[in-house]
Amino acid sequence: MSISKISFMIFNKFRFLLVFTVIISTACNKSSNQSTSSSSTIISEPSRWGRRADLLEANSEMSVAELYGQIYVLGGYPSTRISTTVVQVYDPVTDQWRRSVPLPVALNHTMSVSVNGVLYVIGGQTDAGGDGPFVNTVYAFDPKLGSWSIRTPMPTARAGGGAAVVNGRIYVAGGRPPRGNDFAVYDPATDRWEQLTILPTQRNHLGMVSVGTKIYVMGGRTGAGFETPTLDKVEVYDVAAGSWSTATPMLKPRGGVNAIVANGYIHVFGGEGNTHSSNGVFPDHDVLDPVRNSWIHLPDMPTPVHGVTGAAFLNGLIHLPGGGTSSGGTSGSTIHQTYRPASSYP
């Protein structure tokens, strides 16, 4: 056989192998791309996270509430773990913080909401640590009067629970043991409390929000300290029916979470109990669609935090001020993170 024929045969074999390789590579790429796009539950929205002016003082284990378009950060404690009376107020128009009238008593682990132009700070504890002492006090702040008043106390003293408003009434659930099952409602119009059917799963450091006439209690932990077991369980109270049910569990168990409703979706941020992180804090940001009863994982928090009860949704932004950057109560921060949620999620 001549050299020219041998060369021609080698060239044809090489060309076949090259074409075959390209075909296989293309098919694999198509298969890989199709698999990624169809199975992913993560929505990439990196540009939606932002920052606003930092707090005046570092803080954690405090409560947050919105009143007349401004954000109140109430009590808590800085890295010293000494309870504070400081109230910090944020104006989103000027992007500035100021100090307001201090709390009547230094408190941490309170529950706060606003109803009809009045801010309510409920329960909490006066000292650091999981053993209290816990309080059942209710303080009301009227910004028009610029002063605090005392309202009827809760039926039981507790801290580290959650609060939500439905039809102008304040529902408070959970708290540090032994009050982790407590569930009661306060009517500001009559200044009276009523105890309700207990929360099925006792918990504290939980997330709690209302959607319509339903109250969602999410995550939390079962014991007093951050080393105790955490929960992924979601329980729903139907105000109209007066009964509890369960919803789809969170994507992972977390205590010390923060939650807020934005555009009809429940956003849950951060938390403690992360055994895969040196600081023990979760960066996770998950969203529950209450209509579909399903969770979506969104881009993580730039700075993972825990120890904040409540957030604010103003002018299309979720505001997450302060929080602890490591497990426990010695890492209060001044960071003020924001997130711009989508109007809907697939």
Determine the pLDDT at residue 44.
Answer: 54
Determine the pLDDT at residue 21.
Answer: 38
Q: Kindly report the length of the chain.
A: 346
Rounded Cα distance between 120 and 142, Å, is 9
Determine the pLDDT at residue 79.
Answer: 73
Determine the pLDDT at residue 7.
Answer: 40
- The DSSP-derived string for 47-69 is GGEEE-PPPSS-BBSEEEEEETT
Contacts of 169 (CB under 8 A, 6+ apart): 115, 185, 186, 187, 188
Rounded Cα distance between 346 and 189, Å, is 41
Q: Which phi-psi region, left, alpha or beta, contains residue 229 (left: φ > 0; alpha: ψ -120 to 50)?
A: beta
Helices and strands, counts by H and E, the chain: 1, 25
Determine the pLDDT at residue 128.
Answer: 81
Cβ distance 77 to 128 under 8 Å?
Answer: yes
Could you report how far apart the first and last alpha carbons of the chain are, in Å?
66
In the chain, what are the domain boundaries? 50-339
User: In what helix (H) or strand (E) does residue 162 lie, and over which residues does it extend?
Assistant: strand 162-166
Q: What is the pTM of this model?
A: 0.87
pLDDT tens across 204-223, in order?
Answer: 999 999 999 999 999 999 99
Distance of alpha carbon 151 from its chain centroid, rounded? 28
Rounded Cα distance between 161 and 171, Å, is 10
Strand 265-269 and strand 258-262: the pairing is antiparallel
Cβ distance 220 to 207 under 8 Å?
Answer: yes
Determine the pLDDT at residue 268.
Answer: 98
Determine the pLDDT at residue 335.
Answer: 97
Per-residue pLDDT of the chain (346 residues; tens, 9 = 90+): 444 443 434 334 334 333 333 333 333 333 333 322 222 244 555 469 999 999 999 999 999 999 999 999 999 998 788 899 999 999 999 999 999 999 999 999 999 999 999 999 999 999 887 778 999 999 999 999 999 999 999 999 999 999 999 999 999 999 998 999 999 999 999 999 999 999 999 999 999 999 999 999 999 999 988 889 999 999 999 999 999 999 999 999 999 999 999 999 999 999 999 999 999 999 999 999 999 999 999 999 999 999 999 999 999 999 999 999 999 888 999 999 999 999 999 8
Q: Residue 143, SS3?
A: coil
Q: Was domain 50-339 assigned CATH 2.120.10.80?
A: yes
pLDDT tens across 157-187, in order?
Answer: 999 999 999 999 999 999 998 999 999 999 9
